Structure 1
Amino acid sequence: MLNARTLRAWISKELGPSAVAKHMVAISTNLTLVEKFGIDPNNAFAFWDWVGGRYSVCSAVGVLPLSLQYGFTVVEKYSAPFEKNLPVLLGILSVWNVSFFGYPASAILPYSQALEKFAPHIQQVSMESNGKGVSIDGKPLPFETGEIDFGEPGTNGQHSFYQLIHQGRVVPCDFIGIVKSQQPVYLEGEVVNNHDELMSNFFAQPDALAYGKTPEELLKENVLQHLVPHKTFSGNRPSLSLLLPSLDAYKIGQLLAIYEHRVAVQGFIWGINSFDQWGVELGKSLATQVRKQLHASRVKGESAEGFNFSTTTMLTKYLKESFDVPANPPTILPRI
């Protein structure tokens, strides 16, 4: 809302207050507050009041601009029976890994630098939606739900955390590969082009996880006896691979839809409400108290109080060492 007020101030300054109603639209459950903000209620798109704060691409908030851009027939285009439905299959596999095998984490590994923000996006979609400990009717769950999602593109991850997923904890992995490179490069004299080099790793890593390497195989390769335990790979580590023909906007939309609907499938099976996020509210509430304290300390010189010892100590240090920061810094608005 602070960002929205900042934008409103900028539009008002550049075009006049009446321009807000013409140049801003809202997606909200509260049309009264929309009008109070200065946006014409006729330019507001309502949605269900039970939709929480996390909006996926496929929710009312995300799908509206997409349907305006591409047409709603495109949005509704694809469906599939359960036995061939990728989000359903991925959701079932995830529930199997989390609730039956007890694997707490999942790695999303796109072999494309263009998808470097994909894993963090799905991390938010998944962990904020399904990080629950009670059922939809408020009863404590007798099994684990949700998963710790993380990831990194291509070979960056191989030199970051693949050591752990190969020889440490079991982490189910989703490998995402692209057939056609967005920037094909071939250096004369090289064995393969640059994209083939990248995809060689994409095809090899799942095999390494699945089959590993036994002590017997290492001994046949004349590996020194004392190194055998260190070079042994247990194998039998789960992964799946998605191979996209290319990476255009349409394919990225499909990828987003697969993972966002996968999260919904998980929630349905676990019997949790994937569409509320009470877990983020406590921190927000406490932040409000801190905000009031910072204002009182900077404007009135009041000491920090009402917090635990650790927080009081840190707040006091923060205020002391940032004493030259004004309570209300001058407004800086961008200009076109």
Structure 2
Amino acid sequence: MANAALAGDQQAFGPLLPAVQEQAAGLPADRLTAGARAMAGAIAEASPHLGGWVAVLAGALVENGADAGPAGPAVIDRLVEVAAAALAFAGAWEKATGGAPPDPMEHEPSREVWETVHPELGDGAGVTMESWWALPQFAMAASTMLARDQAVRASVAERDFKVSVVDQAAPYLGQLEYVRDLLKVLDGERLLVLDRATGRGWTVVIGGVGDNFQLHTLLAHALIRPGGMPGEAPDPRWVASSMDQEVEPGTPPVAGVWNLVDAHGSWIWNEGVPADIPEVGGTRIVVLDPPTYPRTWSPGRRFPLMPGSLTVEGAHAPEELRDWWAHVKPAVPPAGG
């Protein structure tokens, strides 16, 4: 299959896709990993169209138990390359027509499309058009690779650049919002959590936390205990589904415990991600304030394939934190909040 993709043999490639999927069913993990490894070259070098479908198949192997490491980095790197070309296509289309480019999920490439962008893109029209329609396949595969394997997330080089390219393309394809935020996931990251009411604090280490809803739930689980923060401990079902379990049927909505605030006094919105919490001296600070109004949200993880964790590395008395508190501003409600 990889050879057919590299050779650009679409007639041979088409029947191979379902055949390989069928043959992979029930194979042990080592065989699936070997298959994903064999696909890495085609993902990196085949045409965007064929490379995208090889990436989808590699993602399916990972979902069935293959190690994402052999193919994951190739998927991420090629996604960024394809996204950059797709942005060129979108820009040429918008310049030519004054309107939004065709939805890659609902329309098909055509001669008319090529003729629309060719005056602007010249010889690059073909590959940019192909990249536009390959974007959903690469986005799907990248989401799987990043969510499944911390090592793939750790392997991402030039992360800020990749996040920027994906973020620019995200308005054209919603799936890329997930890819962007998976690229921003912090693994092994230390946060300093400060309780404004008592002056106490904790150093916590997070990994695989997909959004601040999950962070909030795991903080409550870690800190509300004898000798820690007072309050009602979170429902164990909320905690389990924020770590690595599916949401149990009948689980009630999660109830928020605090208003999370950063060191500059701005609210940390649950809809955001931990990577957006600003640093002070190289450390991200989360301040715990009483809730300003009741907050509830659905239990579970934004990325079900990615397990999350939060552990307390150390507790700090108020006198140990005076220098940190000097950098912390009072909470400032958002405009209209």
Scaled by the length of structure 2, the TM-score of the pair is 0.24
| Max Rg structure | 1
Does 1 or 2 have the higher relative contact order (CA < 8 Å, sep 6+)? Answer: 1
Q: What is the TM-score of this pair, normalised by structure 1?
A: 0.24
